[in-house]
Amino acid sequence: MKVHLRLRYELNHQLRTATGLSLADYDVLVALTSEPDGRMSVADLAARIGWERSRVSHRLRGLRERELIETRPAPRDLRSTEVVLTDVGRTALREAGPGHIDFVRRAFLDALDPERMAAMRESLDAVYDRLIEHGTLPRPADHP
């Protein structure tokens, strides 16, 4: 738990300082890029990032105000809301990416030799599989 909390704090700090994006903003923008056209329903977005819909809706308001995303009725189901990554959002993500990736590498990946990295990957895969099997959050369609 302490590693998880510290890592999220440091990731958020790095992003905020370098780009003005929060880690939560970054999570949403990255999730939207998993679709080729940069759009998905609020429900699918919530499942992808593991948030409740109310939290997603709150975050979307701020992203919309900064023109990083747009929201609109879904074309196939007007009761559903679709979230669309804008060009401004893509640019912000593109600018944030290199510094964020470098920070993750320095803070996390460089701390582990290849053997430890392989062991950690195997352990985390086992935990993920257990969470999928026994958890309540739907598995995103493109997650194995």
For the chain, which domains are there? 2-111 (1.10.10.10)
DSSP code for 139: P
Q: What is the pLDDT of residues 8-35, one digit of tens each?
A: 999 999 999 999 999 999 999 999 999 9
Q: What share of the chain is helix, strand, coil (3-state, %, to 5)?
A: 65, 10, 25
Q: What is the pLDDT of residues 41-62, one digit of tens each?
A: 999 999 899 899 899 999 999 9
Q: Which residues pair with 72 in a beta bridge?
A: 82
What is the side-by-side strand order in the sheet with 69-73? 39-41, 81-85, 69-73
Q: What is the pLDDT of residues 72-116, one digit of tens each?
A: 998 887 788 999 999 999 999 999 999 999 999 998 889 899 999
